């Protein structure tokens, strides 16, 4: 336990204010909280997402804090007044497959990267930040980050913007059966047929992995940012029940010849709309991810292409007006 944990709560206000400005001392994105200095006390407070800059980065760094009207105690950080830029310099230390390891503020992050010639590592790169200010995507080459040039524009332009919501359906879907080293060799005459995405071992099937591909539909949106993606995971009525299906990003924009590959963040659900993470959304925006694979260990299945809204994406994005 640190001295900060033992600090007394701030004294109630005497001015009747419901919000105040406070200095930002630290950010804990995992637990969605921010440490602020309020009336001489340092206290962790639940917070809305924001690219908070700490005092070590920008001085002074401040945020808006909501107070309990009865007690005058901090109850929520409503957002930063000092906002960290959407693209910042970081250090690229490793490239493995579709993932890059970068160091920012002394902490390592494994994130997708845009294709470029990065040369000898480690070296400086530009990274785009997610809604909490964590690295989400390596944006540019070392040449840009090592010079006095401004960081790359994540959207490639300025001027007015508009937010749009659209639906993208898979262009193809199926399942890879490892013991047959082939696509679509399980329950092809029921449960939605060959387009169904399976995961796990179906009592004699051997390990299976489903894949839904979207081609270049997401890249072709021309999005400055993709603000939300929800995937419709629908059960197909397996006799053994329908445990949650887990999806993971895949680089395949069409059916691959062999087993599908996938990596990065996952999301799980069944019979509903499931949100994809910020890094996964950004990887889909720039074309690093063009499909979703079902990678859960529990035997289950999800409806695919041509089966209602199976594996359809509800995409909310921002584009130039």
Question: Quick one: which H or E segment has residue 93?
Answer: strand 87-96
Is 188 a member of any domain? yes
159-170 burial: b if 16+ Cβ within 10 Å, else e: eeeeeeeeebbb
**Pair (171, 66) in one structural domain:** no
Please tell me whether residue 270 adopts helix, strand or coil conformation: coil
At which of 80, 101, 131 does a domain end? Answer: 80
The pLDDT tens digits for 99-152 are: 889 988 788 999 888 767 788 888 888 888 888 888 888 876 545 455 445 566
> Given its phi and psi angles, is residue 238 left (phi above 0), alpha (psi -120 to 50 degrees) or beta?
beta
Q: What is the pLDDT of residues 296-317, one digit of tens each?
A: 999 999 999 988 899 999 999 8
Residue 142 and residue 59 share a domain: no
Co-location of 61 and 104 in the same domain: no
Tokens (6 digits) for 150: 């401004």
- Residue 14 domain flag: no
Q: Are the C-beta atoms of 159 and 321 separated by less than 8 Å?
A: yes
Token couple for 96:
């493995």
The pLDDT tens digits of the residues spanning 233-266 come to 999 988 666 899 999 999 999 999 999 999 988 9
β-pairing verdict for 207-213 and 172-177: antiparallel
- According to the model, what pLDDT value does residue 149 have? 55
Average pLDDT score over the chain: 83
- Residue 14 confidence (pLDDT): 43
pLDDT band at 88 (very low <50, low <70, confident <90, very high): confident
The per-residue pLDDT for 57 is 46
Q: Does 135 lie in the same domain as 264?
A: no
**Would residue 185 count as lying in a domain?**
yes
142 & 114 share domain: yes
Q: Are residues 39 and 177 in the same domain?
A: no
Q: Residue 97 domain-assigned? A: yes
Whether residue 213 sits in one domain with residue 186: yes
Q: For the chain, report the end-to-end CA distance as a whole number of angstroms.
A: 51
Between 320 and 282, the higher pLDDT residue:
282
The band of 16, judged by pLDDT with boundaries at 50, 70 and 90, is: low
Indicate the residue among 80, 98, 115 that finishes a domain.
Answer: 80
Do 178 and 267 belong to one domain?
A: yes
Instruction: For residue 266, tell me if it sits in a domain.
Output: yes
Task: DSSP letter for 210, please.
Answer: E
Pair (275, 209) in one structural domain: yes
Per-residue model confidence (pLDDT) at position 169:
94
Selected residue with higher pLDDT from 204 and 302: 302
Domain with 230, as residue range(s), is 164-320
Q: Has residue 8 been placed in a domain? A: no
Task: Examine the domain organization and report whether 243 and 219 are in the same domain.
Answer: yes
Write the pLDDT tens digit of every residue in 44-61: 999 988 888 875 544 568
- Under 8 Å between Cβ of 266 and 246: yes
Q: What CATH number is attached to the domain comprising 127?
A: 2.40.50
- DSSP for 32-76 reads TEEEEEETTEEEEEEB----BPPTTTSSS-EEEEEE-TTT--EEE
139/212 same-domain check: no
32, 53, 80 — which closes off a domain? Answer: 80
Q: What average pLDDT score do residues 24-39 get?
A: 88
pLDDT at 17: 62
Domain count, the chain: 3
Return the minimum-mean-pLDDT range out of 27-31, 274-278, 311-315: 27-31
Residue 3 inside a domain? The answer is no
Residue 203 has pLDDT above 70, yes or no: yes
- Confidence at residue 126, expressed as pLDDT on a 0 to 100 scale: 85
91 and 75 in a single domain? The answer is no
Within a domain: 265: yes
């Amino acid at each position: 336990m640190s001295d900060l944990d033992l600090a007394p709560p701030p004294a109630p206000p005497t001015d009747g204010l419901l919000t105040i400005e406070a200095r930002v001392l630290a950010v804990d994105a995992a637990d969605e909280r921010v440490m602020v200095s309020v009336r001489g006390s340092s206290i962790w407070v639940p917070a809305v997402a924001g690219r908070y800059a700490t005092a070590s980065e920008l001085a002074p760094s401040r945020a808006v804090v909501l107070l309990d009207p009865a007690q005058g105690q901090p109850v929520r950080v409503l957002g930063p007044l000092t906002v960290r830029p959407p693209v910042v310099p970081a250090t690229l230390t490793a490239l493995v497959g579709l993932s890059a390891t970068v160091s920012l503020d002394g902490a390592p992050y494994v994130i997708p990267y845009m294709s470029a010639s990065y040369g000898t590592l480690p070296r400086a790169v530009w990274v785009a930040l997610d809604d909490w200010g964590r690295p989400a995507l390596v944006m540019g080459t070392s040449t840009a980050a090592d010079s006095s040039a401004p960081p790359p524009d994540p959207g490639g332009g300025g001027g007015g913007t508009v937010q749009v919501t659209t639906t993208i359906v898979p262009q193809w879907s199926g399942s890879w059966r490892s013991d047959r080293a082939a696509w679509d060799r399980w329950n092809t005459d029921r449960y939605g047929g060959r387009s169904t995405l399976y995961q796990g071992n179906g009592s004699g099937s051997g390990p299976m992995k489903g894949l839904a591909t979207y081609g270049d539909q997401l890249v072709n949106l021309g999005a400055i940012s993709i603000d939300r993606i929800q995937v419709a995971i629908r059960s197909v009525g397996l006799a053994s029940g329908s445990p949650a299906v887990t999806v993971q990003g895949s680089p395949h924009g069409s059916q691959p010849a062999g087993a599908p590959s996938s990596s990065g963040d996952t999301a799980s659900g069944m019979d509903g709309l499931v949100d994809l993470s910020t890094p996964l959304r950004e990887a889909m925006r720039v074309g690093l991810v063009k499909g979703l694979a079902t990678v859960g260990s529990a035997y289950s299945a999800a409806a695919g292409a041509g089966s209602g809204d199976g594996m359809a994406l509800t995409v909310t994005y921002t584009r130039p007006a």
